Chain A
C-alpha cells in the first residue's frame, strides 16, 4: 500500500495536467483550413449563389452542411446493434398478446377470461373495462380506446389483452378467452357511409352529421366558380378510384412497457411522434405526464404508420401495471394491417378547365375518402385532398368538396405524402389530358402557368421559394423529352408529373403557435468539448439526428464526431411534435441553429477576451476561432470554450423555432399552411406490353426542390425511396377487400411492394431554391418526392399505349381489359396494331412558350430581389396581383358552405352536405 501522507489544505494532484492542448478535440489534432468551396460568395467564399444569399450564410464554416454525410447511427445499423421495438428485452419480461375481433362490427356482450386465467403462466388479462378514457392523435377527434368498450368496429379491433410468461402461453390464453358478440350490420363501401344508418360507427353527439357515417366534410370555393364554364375551351373530367395502401414498413409495431420501482412508466416504442403517445398515455392511464417517460427505440420505417398513439401501446402499459412486470407486445405482419393508418381508399372526381390562353381557369375537385373505423389524422386528410393542389399553378377558380366516412375497415391515416398523393395524381393526369386537347406540350403548359416565388396561392397559402420551373427544365433536358414525347413506338412511353408539398405544418396540433414554439433544441457542452444535443425529433431512418448534428457542427465549426444527439427519451428531450408533415429538418434544424448561435456567440466573446481582436473580425473554422484578416491570430475551440466556462461550468443553450403568422381567415384556412413548400417534377419512361398489359417502369428522372440539400446523400435516398413507394401504389399495391369485406392480403406476399426487379433506374436531381426561412435554405425532402411518380407513370402509360387509367394500381389484369376494350372500340384484332398517341402542336404552343419565357425572367427577378411587390394568385388572369382578389372583384368570392343551388345537384362527396348536424336540427 502506498504510504499515507499528511494532507494539509488544498493540494494539487501530482501530475495534474492542464486541459488537453489547443488544436485537439476530434480525431485530428490539426485544424483543417476552411473549405472555401463550401463558403458562399456572400461571405467571400467560392460557392456561387444563383438563388441569392441567405440569412444563415455567415454561419457556414464549410464543415459538413451540403456534403454527403453517412448517417451518424449507421454503424449501429450495419453491425446489428441498433435496437428496435422488439429488441428491447428487460429482465423478467412478460409477453403480451392481443385478443382481436373476428367481426366487422359487433357489440361486445361479455368477456369471460376465467379459463384463461387458470392457465399456468398467465399473469394478467385486461379488457376495455380497465381503460375507459378515449384518445386519438387529434384532440378534436379522440375516438379510440385501448380496448373495445362495448363495440368492435373492424376485424382485428382490440377486445382484450393478455400477459403471460411466454408467447405460447399467451397465445393459448387468447384462445381461451370467451367473447360473446352481437353482430351488427357493417358497412364497407364508402359510398354507403354517406347515407343515414341505423347505428353509425361512431356517435359524435350534437356534432353528428345527419345519422350518417360522415366523419368530416369540407366545402371550399375560391373565385368565380360558376363562371368557369364560360371561359373554358377545354375540359377534363375524370372519375378516379385509388385503392388503399399500407406503409409496409419492414419493422412490425412493438411496444415494451415497464413501471419502475418509483412508480414511473417507461414505454419503449418505435414511434414517429413520442410526444402524442406521452399525452395519450397520461389520459388513458390517468396519471400525470411527468410520471411517464416515452423512449423511442430505433424505428424500422415509419412513413406515417407509426405516428398515432396506438392502442397496443396502451395495452402494454396497462398489462405492465397489472402484472408489476415489464410487458413486451410485438405485432406479426398481419396485425400491422389491422392497425393500418395507410393511405385512404378514395373516389376522386377531377374536373380541370383551360381557357383560350392556355391558362388553368378552373379546378373542381370532389374527393370521397374511406377512413375506416377511426378518425386518426383524417380531419386533416380531408382538407389536404383539396387544398394541396392549389399550387404550383395559378388557378382561375377553385372548388373542392371532400368527405371522409367511417367504414368497418382498419383505420386509414397519414401516409407519406399525406392526403396530397391521390388528388395530385388526378390533377397532373388532367393537365396531361388538357394539353393533349389543346395540342400543346404538357411541360410547356406547366411552365407557362406557374406561380412565381414569394406569392400567395388561391387559398391564401404563403409560398416563398419555388424551384418548380428549374425542376421541370432539368427533367425535360436530362430525359431527352423533346425527342421522346409522343414519338416512341407503341408500348414505349414517357410522362411527366409534378408535386407540391408542405414543409412542416403551420399549426401545431396541441397548442397555440403564438404561445409555444414548434420545436426546441437544447445544447450542452462540458469541459471535454463534445456537444450534447437534446432534441425530441424522432429519427425514423430519414436521418434527422444526422441533420441536426450537422447543423450544430457547422455553426460551431466542429467535426461531426464531436456532436452526440440524444433524442430518445421524453425525460431528457425538449417537447417536439415528432416526425410528420415533413417538419423535422425545417423546424428542428432551425431550432438547433438558433441554439448553436448562442454558444457560438459565447465562444466568440471568450476569444475576444483572450485575443483582444474585435468580434466582427473573427470567424470560426475547424475547431479554431481566428481573425479573418490574419488567420494566425486565433485560439483553439477548447481554449475559447474553457475561457467561456470559467465561473459557470458547462455551457448550455436552448433554441426554438416557431412559424411566422400566415394564412387567411376562412374556416379551414390553417389546413395546408406551411412555412415553406417543396416542389418536384419527375419524368418516367415506361414499357407497356400490349399483349399482356404488364407495365414496367424503366427510368425515372426525379427533380426535387428541397431548398438546400443539407445532406445530399440522404436527400437522394429520400427521392429514390419515394419513387419506390409511389411505384408500388401506382403499379401493384392495394389493400384488397373481398366481397364480404374481409381484407384479403394482410401479408407481404399478396400485398406486393416492389422488389429490386421492379425498381427503375432513378436519377435523382436536386434543385436548391434557397428558402429564406429554411435552415441554411433547406425545405423538406421526405414526402414531396413521392407525389410526382404516380402521375408521371400514368401519363407515360398513356404515351405508350393511348389508354388513360383512372383506377390504381394499374395491375396487368386491369390494363389487359382496357386494351381489349380499346381494340374492340377501334375494331382492331391485334393489340400490336393499336395506334400510339401522337402530337402536332397548335398555335397555342408558341404563345405558351413565349409566356413561359417572360415568366422565367419574372421569377428570377422575384427571387433575387428583396424588395418585391406582393403577388396574389389571379394576376395571370388580369387581376391586380398586389391585393387579395376578393378585395378587388365582387364575383371573386370565398365560401366554405355550399349554396342551395349546389345542394340541388351535389357531387359525390358533396352529398355529405345534404345532412344536417344534430345540433342544428332543432330536436
Chain B
C-alpha cells in the first residue's frame, strides 16, 4: 500500500510520550505537535477536560501540571512530558470528593456543568496553596474561566464553603468506603 503524506500533517510519525495523568503513568505514541487537550481527550480518555474555544479564552480545558493550572488547549503535550497532570477526574480519590466538588454541587456552582471541570481544577490549586482565600484572591484565581450560566456568584459561594470545610478540617462523608454504610439501617 502506498503511504500518502498529507500536506497538512507536518509530523505524522509518532514518538512515545510519558506522563502521569491522575496518578497513573501513561506512555503513549503521539505526534510532535499534538496538543495536550487532544491527547488527554482522545488518547488518554479524559473526556472530563472540555474544549470550549481552543483559543485560550474560556478556561474549560484547564488542567493542573505539577499542581499549577494550565490551559491544555494552548499546551503542546511535549512541553509537559514527564510531569504530573491532574484533570477533574483526578480531584476525587474515588471515595471522597474534593471539598470543592461537594460544595459546587451543593451551592449551585454548576448549572450546565460544561465550565465546571475547568473551574474545579483551578480552584483546587488555589485552595491547595491558600485554603482561606479572600474574595479578591478567589476572583483573581478564576478570572481566566468563563461561565455563561451561573454569573459566577454561586461559584464564589462554593469556594468560600469549601474553604470553610478545609479550614475546619471537616471530614466529608465517604459514601463508597466499605466501612461506612451509605444506607444505614437498611433492612433493619
Give the number of chain B interface residues (Cβ < 8 Å). Answer: 61
Complex interface: chain A residues within 8 A of B60 (CB): 250
Cross-chain pairs A/B with CB under 8 angstroms, 23 sampled: A27-B183, A70-B105, A71-B105, A75-B105, A77-B105, A78-B113, A79-B97, A80-B88, A83-B47, A119-B4, A120-B4, A172-B7, A248-B148, A250-B50, A251-B112, A252-B52, A298-B114, A541-B114, A721-B148, A725-B148, A747-B55, A756-B152, A759-B151
Q: Which of A616-665 contact B (CB under 8 A)?
A: none
Residue B142 interfacial (CB < 8 Å): yes
Residue A445 interfacial (CB < 8 Å): no
CB 8 Å contact bits of A741-763 with B (1 = contact, 0 = none): 00000011100010111010110
Contact B112 A332 (CB under 8 A): no
A541 to B151, CA, bound (A): 13
Residue A81 interfacial (CB < 8 Å): yes
Kindly specify which of A36-44, A299-307, A606-614, A830-838 makes contact with the partner chain.
A299-307
A755 to B102, CA, bound (A): 24
Residue B149 interfacial (CB < 8 Å): yes
Contact A753 B149 (CB under 8 A): no
A299 to B48, CA, bound (A): 14
Complex interface: chain A residues within 8 A of B149 (CB): 301, 541, 717, 721
- Select which of B92, B108, B139 is within 8 A of A70 by beta carbon: B108
Q: Contacts A250-B58, A725-B148 known; A84 to B114 CB distance under 8 Å?
A: yes
Give the residue name and chain of the A residue nearest to B156 (CB): A756
- 6 extra interface residue pairs, beta carbon distance < 8 Å, beyond A300-B113, A721-B111: A27-B183, A78-B101, A250-B58, A250-B112, A333-B53, A720-B153
A78 to B106, CA, bound (A): 11
Complex interface: chain B residues within 8 A of A761 (CB): 153
Residue A86 interfacial (CB < 8 Å): yes
CB 8 Å contact bits of B172-188 with A (1 = contact, 0 = none): 00000000001111111
CB 8 Å contact bits of A236-256 with B (1 = contact, 0 = none): 000000000001111110000
Contact B57 A298 (CB under 8 A): no
Residue B168 interfacial (CB < 8 Å): no
A543 to B108, CA, bound (A): 10
Contact B108 A713 (CB under 8 A): yes
A27 to B156, CA, bound (A): 30
Complex interface: chain B residues within 8 A of A902 (CB): none
Min CB gap B61→A, angstroms: 11
Contact A79 B92 (CB under 8 A): yes
Q: Contacts A541-B111, A716-B154 known; A29 to B188 CB distance under 8 Å?
A: yes
Shortest 4 CB-CB contacts between residues of A and residues of B: A80-B48, A541-B112, A300-B114, A77-B113
Q: Contacts A80-B87, A250-B52, A748-B146 known; A89 to B153 CB distance under 8 Å?
A: no
Interface residues on A, range: 35 or more
CB 8 Å contact bits of A396-427 with B (1 = contact, 0 = none): 00000000000000000000000000000000
Q: Contacts A28-B185, A747-B57, A762-B153 known; A300 to B112 CB distance under 8 Å?
A: yes
A761 to B117, CA, bound (A): 24
Q: Which of B94-147 contact A (CB under 8 A)?
A: 97, 101-102, 104-108, 110-117, 120, 139, 142-143, 145-147
Q: Which of B52-110 contact A (CB under 8 A)?
A: 52-55, 57-58, 60, 87-89, 91-92, 97, 101-102, 104-108, 110
Contact B101 A759 (CB under 8 A): no
Residue A82 interfacial (CB < 8 Å): yes
Question: Which of B53, B55, B115 is the most central at the interface, judged by chain A CB atoms within 10 Å of its CB?
Answer: B53
- Select which of B7, B112, B183 is within 8 A of A301 by beta carbon: B112
Residue A863 interfacial (CB < 8 Å): no
Contact B6 A78 (CB under 8 A): no
Contact A79 B150 (CB under 8 A): no
Residue B20 interfacial (CB < 8 Å): no
Give the residue name and chain of the A residue nearest to B12 (CB): A168
- Select which of A27, A30, A79, A251 is within 8 A of B114 by beta carbon: A251
Q: Which of A101-133 contact B (CB under 8 A)?
A: 119-120
Complex interface: chain A residues within 8 A of B97 (CB): 75, 78-79
- Select which of A168, A299, A333 is within 8 A of B6 by beta carbon: A168
Complex interface: chain A residues within 8 A of B148 (CB): 247-250, 301, 303, 721, 724-725, 753
CB 8 Å contact bits of A135-178 with B (1 = contact, 0 = none): 00000000000000000000000000000000011011001000
Complex interface: chain B residues within 8 A of A300 (CB): 50, 52, 112-114
- Select which of A81, A301, A332, A721 is within 8 A of B48 by beta carbon: A81
Residue B49 interfacial (CB < 8 Å): yes
A251 to B149, CA, bound (A): 11
Complex interface: chain B residues within 8 A of A330 (CB): 51
A470 to B89, CA, bound (A): 45
Which B residues fall within an 8 A CB radius of A?
4, 6-9, 46-55, 57-58, 60, 87-89, 91-92, 97, 101-102, 104-108, 110-117, 120, 139, 142-143, 145-154, 156, 182-188
Complex interface: chain A residues within 8 A of B114 (CB): 84, 249-251, 298, 300-301, 541
Question: Which of A30, A83, A721, A753 is the most central at the interface, judged by chain B CB atoms within 10 Å of its CB?
Answer: A721
Contact A749 B55 (CB under 8 A): yes
- Select which of A82, A248, A756 is within 8 A of B142 by beta carbon: A756
Min CB gap A623→B, angstroms: 13
Give the residue name and chain of the B residue nearest to A74 (CB): B105
The interface residues of chain A, by DSSP majority, are classed as loop
Q: Contacts A248-B148, A717-B154, A725-B148 known; A299 to B186 CB distance under 8 Å?
A: no
A753 to B58, CA, bound (A): 10
Residue A76 interfacial (CB < 8 Å): yes
Residue A714 interfacial (CB < 8 Å): yes
Residue A20 interfacial (CB < 8 Å): yes
Contact A86 B51 (CB under 8 A): yes
CB 8 Å contact bits of A724-745 with B (1 = contact, 0 = none): 1100000000000000000000
Contact B112 A333 (CB under 8 A): no
Residue A55 interfacial (CB < 8 Å): no
Question: Which of B6, B145, B149, B182 is the most central at the interface, judged by chain A CB atoms within 10 Å of its CB?
Answer: B149
Q: Which of A544-587 contact B (CB under 8 A)?
A: none
Q: Which of A316-373 contact B (CB under 8 A)?
A: 330, 332-333
A24 to B154, CA, bound (A): 35
A717 to B54, CA, bound (A): 27
Min CB gap A615→B, angstroms: 30
Min CB gap A655→B, angstroms: 27
Min CB gap B9→A, angstroms: 5
Contact A332 B111 (CB under 8 A): no
Contact A78 B110 (CB under 8 A): yes
Complex interface: chain B residues within 8 A of A29 (CB): 184-188
Min CB gap A299→B, angstroms: 6
A755 to B59, CA, bound (A): 11
Residue A540 interfacial (CB < 8 Å): yes
Q: Which of A520-547 contact B (CB under 8 A)?
A: 540-543
Contact B58 A724 (CB under 8 A): no
Residue A214 interfacial (CB < 8 Å): no
Complex interface: chain A residues within 8 A of B50 (CB): 84, 250-251, 300
Give the residue name and chain of the A residue nearest to B92 (CB): A79
- Select which of A21, A73, A250, A543 is within 8 A of B146 by beta carbon: A250
